[in-house]
Amino acid sequence: MPELPEVETTRAGLAPHCVGRRVSDVIVHNGRLRWPVPEHLADVLTGRLVQRIERRGKYLLLYCLDEVSAHVGVLMVHLGMSGSLRLVDPGSVRKTHDHLVFSLSDAADDLDAEPRWELRYHDPRRFGCCLWLELPAEQHPLLASLGPEPLTDAFTDTHLFRLSRGKSMPIKSFLMDSQVVVGVGNIYANEALFEVGIHPLREAGRISEKRYVALSVAVRAILANAIAQGGTTLRDFVNGQGEPGYFQQQLSVYGRAGEPCLRCQKPLTEVRLSARSTVFCTRCQR
């Protein structure tokens, strides 16, 4: 599943090519995603100018302006389990699972002009979404309950410790709760817990404040490094230009079950936690 670094990599890759351009056409080849694509999406989006692209958690938010009415709406995209947004030449052959195609023209062009790019939403498992939101977008039910962004000042050193008090759930489950902090998915939770030597099954409420401070630092550093490397390629993920990420080459535990721990050489252990692969070192993580 694309996680925060993959989504942020996509946002950063798309923005220079999409912002300031006009959506000249919208074609919905298959609207049966996790939440159905709104039937009026083409009508409401065509002709609008892309003002900016933001990210909230794992959601991409494309703010689009109707220059006639000065109305701004938001195209909210989630990549689901296997989705991607890719910029391609208009003449490129459409892939089987390219479910939505957004044509982008220069702002000065009329709607009949040849598009500069096509932005294609590709999702083999159809577990993502493309929804239209009115402002303020942050009040939408899918966004309203999200916790702080881990790479902002809202994610303080004491934030995790304060919310963990009285919690008996495993620390890995706590760390992956999007109401606690957004974007720390399975891959990066495994990596952060190994970095600070915390056992993923340890109760969240039984971990000291000092260790939570170290964990918050590790979360920030690992996510920032993954973004710098373009995300992690595990089966499906590619960025906005169709390129893979390279952080997988730096993974310490995820995907390495049975291999030697990079610190003590003991074989890494794998268990299933909430149906997710959880890999750790029984000697280094307590």
Which of 3, 118, 149, 191 is catalytic? The answer is: 3
Task: For the chain, give the percent of residues with pLDDT over 90.
Answer: 81
Peptide bond into 124 cis (omega under 30): no
Same domain, 133 and 185: no
Tokens 């090519």 -> residue? 17
Lowest mean pLDDT among 120-124, 127-131, 202-206, 249-253: 249-253
Range of the domain at 189: 159-280
Same domain, 179 and 135: no
Q: What is the arithmetic mean of pLDDT over 36-41?
A: 97
Same domain, 111 and 170: no
Residue 276 annotated to the active site? yes
CB 243 within 8 A of CB 191: no
Residue 148 within a domain:
no
Which of 94, 126, 256, 276 is catalytic? The answer is: 276
Distance CA 158, CA 181 (A): 12
- Strand 276-280 relative to strand 269-273, pairing: antiparallel
Task: Tell me the backbone φ, ψ of residue 59, rounded to 5 degrees.
Answer: -100, 135
Say whether pLDDT at 240 is over 60.
no
Helix (H, G, I), strand (E, B) or coil at 131: strand
Banded pLDDT at 249 (limits 50, 70, 90): low
Say whether pLDDT at 193 is over 70.
yes
Lowest mean pLDDT among 20-29, 126-135, 237-246: 237-246
Residue 214 within a domain:
yes
pLDDT score for 160: 95
Same domain, 58 and 108: yes
Which of 11, 58, 86, 120 is catalytic? The answer is: 58
Same domain, 176 and 133: no
Number of domains comprising the chain: 2
Residue 252's alpha-carbon distances to 135, 189, 214, 282, in angstroms, are 41, 12, 17, 14
Domain end residue (candidates: 91, 113, 143): 143
Same domain, 56 and 120: yes
Same domain, 224 and 191: yes
CA 221 to chain centre: 17
pTM for the structure as a whole:
0.89
Q: What is the CATH number of the domain that holds 181?
A: 1.10.8.50
Residue 149 within a domain:
no
Residue 2 annotated to the active site? yes
Residue 3 annotated to the active site? yes
The annotation places the binding site for DNA at 97, 125, 167
Q: What is the arithmetic mean of pLDDT over 77-85?
A: 92
Same domain, 41 and 171: no
- Strand 84-88 relative to strand 71-78, pairing: unpaired
The annotation places the binding site at 97, 125, 167
Residue 17 within a domain:
yes
Say whether pLDDT at 97 is over 50.
yes
Query: In sequence order, which residues have a C-beta less than 8 Å from that of residue 9 and are 6 or more positions away?
Result: 227, 230, 231, 239, 240, 245
Say whether pLDDT at 203 is over 60.
yes
Tokens 């947004």 -> residue? 85
Tokens 């577990």 -> residue? 127
CB 222 within 8 A of CB 195: yes
Closest CA to 278 of 255, 262, 260: 255
Strand order from edge to edge, sheet including 84-88: 84-88, 117-122, 98-106, 21-28, 49-56, 59-66, 71-78, 129-134
Same domain, 134 and 56: yes
Residue 152 within a domain:
no
Same domain, 138 and 176: no
Give per-residue pLDDT as tens, 101-139.
999 999 988 888 889 999 999 999 999 999 999 999 999
pLDDT score for 239: 43
Domain end residue (candidates: 111, 143, 175): 143
Query: In sequence order, which residues have a C-beta less than 8 Å from that of residue 121 and are 6 or more positions away?
Result: 77, 83, 84, 85, 98, 99, 100, 101, 102, 128, 130
Query: In sequence order, which residues have a C-beta less than 8 Å from that of residue 94 and are 6 or more positions away?
Result: 29, 101, 120
Residue 61 within a domain:
yes
Domain end residue (candidates: 114, 143, 172): 143
Same domain, 29 and 115: yes
Query: In sequence order, which residues have a C-beta less than 8 Å from that of residue 36 and are 6 or more positions away?
Result: none
